[in-house]
Homo-oligomer: A and B are copies of this chain.
């Protein structure tokens, strides 16, 4: 039984960030990648454009896939998370830079709806200290995230950030997002985060389904 528990803890999920595709393209991608994509992320730009419609549509078409609403909540935690979970999201994101009261509201909403909470650590200055606090607040995932706008500037190293978070968390699992690609996924997977988020590398691939499957293979 202990071995099984250990294996369970080591499962890594592939989260596909669907930021730049149309809803039809997203649904087609998920059709073609069955078994590879564990979590379908409805990205922030998608929510800004379409609200919860893609969450409802993806959940209806693929009830076996977890749907994450990347709402990046910053305030009104419980109220905003309620909207996401009520639309069918399994996981909702809240910003690590938000007030504790906001995080607590999102956690409360998740408990009510049987959902999960991922904290997006984008912009958090003291990663270890904040991860320690969040870990005690009952969140499910703490996601180190190299912002799209600073990718390529060398300001952030997702692998180093992942190690920092993994070193301090006891209850939550780590997640990694921001520019992950086939060339960098092995080193990240070696640190055994709970979730690896891949956006552009899948969405912009010549064959997104082949790329998603290749990524998932590296995570086993």
Contact = CB atoms under 8 A, between A and B. Distances in A.
B74 A148 contact: no
B75 A149 contact: yes
Interface string A61-97: 0000000010110111101100110010000000101
A51 B152 CA distance: 30
A73 B135 CA distance: 25
Contacts of A123: 74, 97-99
A4 interface: no
Interface string A87-123: 1000000010111011001000000000000001011
A50 interface: yes
A74 B102 contact: no
Interface stretch (A8-16, A27-35, A41-49, A208-216): A41-49
Nearest to A79: B45
A122 to B, nearest CB: 6
Contacts of A48: 47, 51-52, 69, 71, 80, 83-84
Contacts of A69: 48
B49 A49 contact: no
Pick the 6 closest A-B CB pairs, nearest first: A51-B51, A101-B149, A50-B51, A75-B147, A102-B149, A76-B148
28 contacts: A19-B76, A45-B80, A48-B51, A48-B80, A48-B83, A48-B84, A49-B51, A49-B83, A49-B87, A72-B74, A72-B75, A74-B120, A74-B122, A75-B147, A75-B148, A75-B149, A76-B148, A77-B149, A98-B147, A98-B149, A99-B123, A99-B147, A99-B149, A99-B150, A101-B147, A101-B149, A101-B150, A102-B147
